[in-house]
Structure 1
Amino acid sequence: MAALATFHRQSSGAGDSKRPRLMGDILFLTHRVPWPPNRGDKIRSHHILRKLMEFAPVHLACFADDEAEAAETSDLQNGLTSCHIVRRTKPQWMAGIEALVSGKSISVTSFGSKQLQNWIGGLINHGNVDCIFVFSGQMAQYIPDSFSGRVIMDFADVDSAKFESYGDEGYWPMSWINKREGRLLKAFEYKTGARSDKSLFVSTAEAQLFQQRSGLSTAKIMALGNGIDLEFYRPEVVETTKLGGAGPLLVFTGQMDYRPNIEAVASFSKHVMPKILVHFPDTQFAIVGRAPTEAVWGLDGKNGTQVVGAVDDIRTWLKAADVVVAPLRIARGIQNKILEAMAMGKPVVASGDAAEGIDAIHGQHFLVAENIQQEASLICNLLEDPTEADWLGSNAAKLVRDQYSWEHQLFELPGICGLDDHQFAEAAE
């Protein structure tokens, strides 16, 4: 693995050398370059990093999946005290062998890098780092054993539970691999949570699940929710465009090489769309998102399904949709896709797993389906009653604007990192 970008600049406060130093530096570790904010994990890491930079000098250490990601730029770079980006080149088979030999999870060995470890060690030994903020569990391996400062671990979701679910549903040998991954990740999550001053999760449900599985004190575990860029997701700034066919348009958005998204659209296309087409034969189901796999492309043209792939502006498809669907069969945490659709004033029909963690009411802000049959029924009801659909979407937009701004969701972050209210107020002046 080679370092693709690295720099270090002198700074005495939150990206502005004129500000007084209110606390030591923060080292922010994340498994992907946190810009641009164009997928779920990068959206969260991007906004957390931006908030951290408001009140402390921040160093960033992260990975890039490819050269294109490493070449992306952001205004955040100008405010960082230092930055070290390493290109991930380790093949999955090699990570698997390392995992078997070392007794570690594949999630951890996939992100193992001696180079990144050395850079972090040098920064800790010679810098002024008071706090390490870790985004995503696999990056916790880089917390030095000797570090005596504050450690904040943002797990976001309980990943071990997801792999356990995969293990229960799959066939050997993948079932064995996933069960092993779930078991080892659960132990790693416990060790990391015990080491951290705070463990953060995107929802109360995820935080409670981790507490139950780990047995750690509730004082060390809390929910820190996701927000939405409310300036970006405004329907009035997006041109109205007719997309899809002449009939109703159902839209699913997401990263389309991600297993839960793949399984969701496959299930919806094969099992839900035929039920909808009986009542609304011209309905189109559009799958919108980057990197569709072969399995996803195989759905194109069947049961009214259209695989769109990556688009320049996801908002155009959200605005064109009659209903946005989120039929995930396995889901963890908060689904940004639902919040984005709600912010655009769209009626959403979601599975129970996808809706978990969103503080909204079934029948008032969105609709939650318990099974495939109910998904089809709820969608047909909305297509039959556009006035009801508009009412639901309007309620959804108001809820998101009241509760899901990033400023609102990250309000407690300075205190979590050790800055008291008086200090943060001083920093903001």
Structure 2
Amino acid sequence: MATILSIIPYHFYPPVGGGALRCYNILKEMARDHTVYVVTSQPEDTFTSDEDYTLPERVVIISISKMLLHISGSSACKKVFNAISYRVKKRTLKGPANSFFLASYSAIISLLKDVKFDVIYYESLESVGELSGPIRRFSISFTHIYDAHNVDSILWAQQAKALQNERLMNYANNALQLEKKLFKCIDTFFCCSYEDREKLIRLNELKISGIVVPNGVDISKKPYDDDAFKYSRKNIIFCGSLNYQPNIEGLLWFYTAVLPALKSAIPGLVLTVVGQNASYDHYKALMEDESVNFVGTVPDVNPYYYSASVAIVPLLSGSGTRLKILEAMSLGNPLVTTTVGAEGIRYEDGKHLLIADKPQAFVEQILTLLTDKQKFDTIRQNAQKLVMEIYDWQVIGKSISTQIPVLLKEKYGGR
């Protein structure tokens, strides 16, 4: 059994959204066989019991939220003190003071003195850049693992281009510089897809290895809808974070380029949109359209999938593995998506889902599912089987538990 220090610089419990779900489930699966200490910015009093999501006994939470509040003073003296403290601890002469680093540094160093850790696990690129150096200076005896939810430089660049935003492009450039030197900071990385693994390995000129740990779904929480007449429902569903730029771009593309032809072919067809953080500025047309059931944030997405027929993931950009695809597969909604949307999933087009990269193709694929019961049922049954065999979190968790001792043995010949 290994002892792991996980660094999570954001709120992740109870999980809301794809990133938090990945973070929570990997943490949960690691804690089946290992002890995991978590240093996080999330306030300690928010880790209350949740009937849907529980934290294993082997998870120890160390919240730095109070320290974050303490160092966030806006006075000139406080800013000067933070800048000096940051540069001394980081051993650098430049760079703005990073609040998460300042708040977490003392807690992490104290833990490293008291607990014999085997693995340092980073849940963000920022935490790698800020903390891997000081932790390595403390001791070289740790195995450092970074969980790359995405190739951040690509994701930021896509959003910067879509929004014509110079600040986001600076984020992309900074992320790229850090991603190019990951081999100096970590021993290996987890990522969502083979595509992302190859991109990060190439950025590091083959000096680093990566392990594909795909996104998954808890099939016990997403039970299959076996209604024989599901195909006949004139209700298609989009589900995802509505402030995520690739989702904004893709959903608006679908609404303007695909939905009008679908409504002409199937009178009474409804598009249901489910997701958090919707902006009226982005979705004004959809919110005011009577043929769109714009639901927004809901406590449980399952009922909306059950009342719908086809699920859509019309992404034109982004990286990683789409949790929304795996979720729909588990729940029994056949999918139409783009090549980009299905990236990272081990699917066969026409067997597990349908691919459409052009508006007319998207229309035709949806119409095929809504008019061919046999195809509708065959694809969703194949998709559920795929999820059960590869993408159930318990299956993924077994792989993670196997990988950790192998990594320790490869680096140090075992403990």
C-alpha distance in 1, partners of 2:261/2:323?
27
Equivalent position of 1:164 in the other structure: 157
Call closer, same or farther: CA 1:102–1:167 in 2, change over 3 Å. Answer: farther
SS state of the match for residue 418, structure 1? Answer: helix
- Matched residue, 1:217: 207
Query: Partner residue of 2:86?
Result: none
- From 249, 253, 277, the counterpart of 2:263: 277
How far, CA to CA, are the matches of 1:187 and 1:63 in structure 2? 25
Q: Aligned with 1:410: secondary structure?
A: helix
Indicate whether 1:356 and 2:349 are aligned: no
Match for residue 13 of structure 2?
A: 35
Post-superposition shift, 1:296?
4.5
- Contact 1:63-1:85 within 8 A present in 2 as well: yes
CA distance in 2, matches of 1:338, 1:184: 30
1:232 counterpart = 2:232: no
The separation in 2 between residues aligned to 1:370 and 1:34, in whole angstroms, is 33
Answer yes or no: is 1:154 the counterpart of 2:147.
yes
CA distance in 1 between partners of 2:200 and 2:14 (Å):
29
- What amino acid is the match of 1:381? T
State the distance in 2 between where 1:307 and 1:44 align.
26
- Among 312, 322, 339, the alignment partner of 1:325 is 312
TM-score normalized by the length of structure 2? 0.82
Deviation at 1:415, TM superposition (A): 4.3
Shift in Å, 1:297: 4.4
Q: Within 1, Cα distance between the matches of 2:359 and 2:160?
A: 23
Matched with 2:87 is none
Query: Is the 8 Å Cα contact of residues 29 and 398 (structure 2) preserved in structure 1?
Result: no
**CA displacement, residues 363-387 of structure 1 (integer Å, 9 cap, x when unaligned):** 1110111122221221122222233
Aligned residue pair count: 380
1:204 maps to amino acid: Y
In 1, Cα distance between the equivalents of 2:253 and 2:44?
34
**Bigger mean CA deviation after superposition, 253-262 or 329-338:** 253-262
- Provide, for residues 218-267 of structure 1, a one-character-per-residue CA deviation record: whole Å limited to 9, x for no partner: 5x222111221111111259x9999xxx9611101112222222222222
Residue 165 of structure 1 aligns to which amino acid in structure 2?
Answer: Q
Match of residue 121 from structure 1 = 109
Which residue of 1 is the match for residue 35 of structure 2?
57
Go from structure 1 to structure 2 and tell me whether the alpha carbon gap of 1:191 and 1:212 turns closer, same or farther (over 3 Å shift).
closer
- What does the per-residue CA deviation read over 1:95-149, in whole Å, with 9 as the maximum and x for residues that have no partner? xxx9xx9657xxx95x634122221121113322221011121221223241311
The answer to whether residue 34 in structure 2 is matched with residue 46 in structure 1 is no
1:406 and 2:399 aligned: no
Matched, 1:306 2:299: no
| 1:72 shift after superposition | 6.5
- Cα gap change, 1:375/1:85 in structure 2, threshold over 3 Å: closer, same or farther? farther
> Which runs of structure 1 show a deviation greater than 6 angstroms over 4 or more consecutive aligned residues?
87-91, 239-242
Change (3 A) 1:241 1:350: same
Structure 1: runs of 5+ lacking an equivalent: 1-21, 92-97, 423-429
Pair 1:199 & 2:189 matched? yes
Counterpart Cα distance in 1 of 2:298 and 2:170: 37
Seen in structure 2, the aligned counterparts of structure 1 residues 48 and 126 have a Cα distance that, compared at 3 Å, is same
Aligned-residue Cα RMSD (Å) equals: 3.1
Distance in 2, Cα, partners of 1:63 & 1:197: 25
Query: How far apart, in 2, do the equivalents of 1:42 and 1:72 lie?
Result: 17
SS at match of 1:221: strand
Structure-2 residue corresponding to 1:259:
245
Q: Partners in 2 of 1:232 and 1:247 — Cα distance?
A: 23
Deviations along 1:303-349, whole A, 9 cap, x unmatched? 72221012232111112111100011212110010011011121100
- For the residues of structure 1 that align with 2:343 and 2:295, how far apart are their CA atoms? 27
For 1:222, the aligned partner's letter is: I
Whether 2:379 is the aligned partner of 1:395: answer no
Distance 1:355 1:55, change over 3 A: same
Q: Counterpart of 2:287 in structure 1: which amino acid? A: D
CA contact (8 A) 2:143 2:408 kept: no
Q: Which residue of 1 aligns with 2:358?
A: 371
Unaligned residue ranges in structure 2 (runs of 5+)? 74-82, 84-92, 410-415
